[in-house]
Amino acid sequence: MTGAAAEATAALPELLRAHIALSGSAIAIAILLGLPLALWAAGHRRARVPLLALVGLVQTIPALALLALFYPLLLLIGGALHLALPALGFLPALIALALYALLPIVRNGVAAREGLDPGVLEAADGVGMTRRQRLWLVELPLGAPVLLAGIRTAAVWTIGAATLATTVGQPSLGNLIFSGLQTENWIRVLVGCAAAAALALVADGLLALIETGLARRSAWRVRTGLGLLAAGLMLALVQPDRATAPTVAIGAKNFSEQYILAAAMADRLHAAGYRTELREDLGSAVAYRAVAAGDIDVYVDYSGTLWANVLGRTDNPPAAQLRAELADALAKRDGVRVLGPLGFENAYALAMRGSRARALGISSIADLARAAPRLRLASDIEFLSRPEWRSVRSAYGLSFAGQNSYSPTFMYRAIADGSADVLSAFSSDGRIAALDLVTLTDPKHALPSYEAVLLVSPRRAHDERFLAALRPLIGAISIDRMRQANLMVDRDVAKASPEEAARWLLRPAPAPLPAAPRSHSP
């Protein structure tokens, strides 16, 4: 077995457990909520249309957006009620998925009730059944096949959609898929997808067993199906024993450098006797709010990002001054501690292929502004909506012939295959040198400084044991070493996992970069 496959399968049991616990609970809640709702709607013709429209509307929201929406919503609700609601992780994922599973359950519930033979219902009343007896003796057994079909649809959807829970900091099989996509580690993606698909098939099969059991009045089928489903869910809901060591949550955004740094922090914390759990693939805004709310304990962010996005500042002081002011403001406002700079910068920069830049005579963003109307921009997904882009655009009067957003990996593909001319690069990205890209200078200083800084949640801000475990990282990572570590993960051949790159990064003496291929296939 290759290293990547071994690593993916080692992570599998815990992620599978988390995935089952989440999707199973969401389906259970949707059933407990959806069946009474369907029953009620079947009896109230006027309520039925608006109710079905409402649960249908929830379905039209993309699952990813629905999950993301619950983060600010829960913060707001928690704030208004003065409750410490966990806005990240299990709760928002659970609510979003349960809402998502509601539609097929309610719709089929109503259909099941409508499909019943009126003669049979009249007979039920005629022999003197109470409403409760009619429900249990007639309506539920006769409606079961249609009802179960709805539950099966909901189960398959929910198990699939639960992979997206990764983006709100809830571990799931999506961890393998998302991090695999970002680092182009297709084995991870494949393991994640296969596990999710297998889980969906098993759940669907057990529900099908219950369905045929009900149809054929075979008690063992119903019992086996229900028993195995319940046992699986119970097993998954039992948390692994965590009492022995304190657990800290490490956050990471959705690119290789963040995975590597998160793995490096995890290494340091393990050495200090902590258990860690990883909340990866967080959006920029979510990550900061998560550390402020204590949903994660530590993560790495970039000074310029915090300056512009969190503090809303548009001025551009020198790096050291910016960092000092930032540390002050975050500590005062949110109690978040800036532990210190890691020693490298990962700035947003505009970059072009070297040959193309030379041919067009472009070396600065000011030069670029003249040629931009004939050029196309490839950016990462966040860049075009960030204040840095607005600032650089207005400072230089940039206007491109076209602009497209990509996930970072595919952004580099776009420039390599010529579908874009300019890209929003990250200065610590190993692919800048590997792809023969040049970064354009910024004579008007429109882009702020982006020192990587370590942020600690208010809860851990004065925990000396915790801080001592992380301090050795401060000032210890040079831009060259970070670029090399990033390239180890991002390159197409002889890829390393983020964990391997992190171990390489933490080695005391700078080691030579393991042999990397010089040429890049597009």
- Report the interface residues with another protein, using CB under 8 A: 117-130, 133, 137-138, 141-142, 217
Least Cβ distance, residue 299 to another protein (angstroms): 57
What is the smallest separation between the CB atom of 129 and another protein, expressed in angstroms? Answer: 6
Name the minimum Å distance from CB 112 to another protein.
Answer: 13
**Least CB distance to another protein at residue 220 (A):** 18
Location of structure tokens 């990064």: 505
Residue 364: CB partners within 8 Å, gap ≥ 6? 440, 441, 442, 443
The single residue listed with the structure tokens 């099908």 is: 208
User: What backbone phi and psi angles, to 5 degrees, belong to 348?
Assistant: -70, 135
Q: Which is nearer to another protein, 139 or 451 (CB)?
A: 139
Nearer to another protein, 127 or 230 (CB): 127
Shortest spacing between CB 171 and another protein, in angstroms:
43
Nearer to another protein, 117 or 328 (CB): 117
Q: In this structure, how many other beta carbons lie within 10 angstroms of the beta carbon of residue 107?
A: 22
Token representation of residue 338: 């800036």
User: Min. distance of Cβ 243 from another protein in angstroms?
Assistant: 50
Question: Token pair of 402, please?
Answer: 């076209």
Q: Which is nearer to another protein, 91 or 129 (CB)?
A: 129
Q: With respect to another protein, which residue has the nearer C-beta, 85 or 135?
A: 135
Tokens 């776009």 locate to 414
Q: What is the DSSP string of 316-364?
A: ---HHHHHHHHHHHHHHHH--EEEEEEEEE--EEEEEEHHHHHHHT--B
Neighbours of 131 (CB within 10 A): 11
**Of 82 and 217, which has the nearer Cβ to another protein?**
217
Closer of 125 and 436 to another protein (Cβ)? 125
Min. distance of Cβ 263 from another protein in angstroms? 57
State the DSSP H helix or E strand holding residue 493, giving kind and residue range, or none if neither.
none
* Alpha helices (H) in 63-89, listed in sequence order: 63-81
Nearer to another protein, 56 or 141 (CB): 141
**Where do we find the tokens 């490839």?**
378
Q: How many helices (H) and strands (E) does the chain have?
A: 22, 10
Q: Which helix (H) or strand (E) holds 450?
A: none
Q: In Å, what is the CA distance from 135 to each residue of 122, 141, 395?
A: 13, 9, 70
Q: Angle formed by the axes of helices 408-416 and 174-182, to 10°?
A: 30
CA distances to 247, 252, 332 from 299, rounded to whole Å, are 15, 6, 19
CA dist 229 and 226 (Å) reads: 5
- Measured from the CB of residue 232, what is the shortest distance to another protein in angstroms? 28
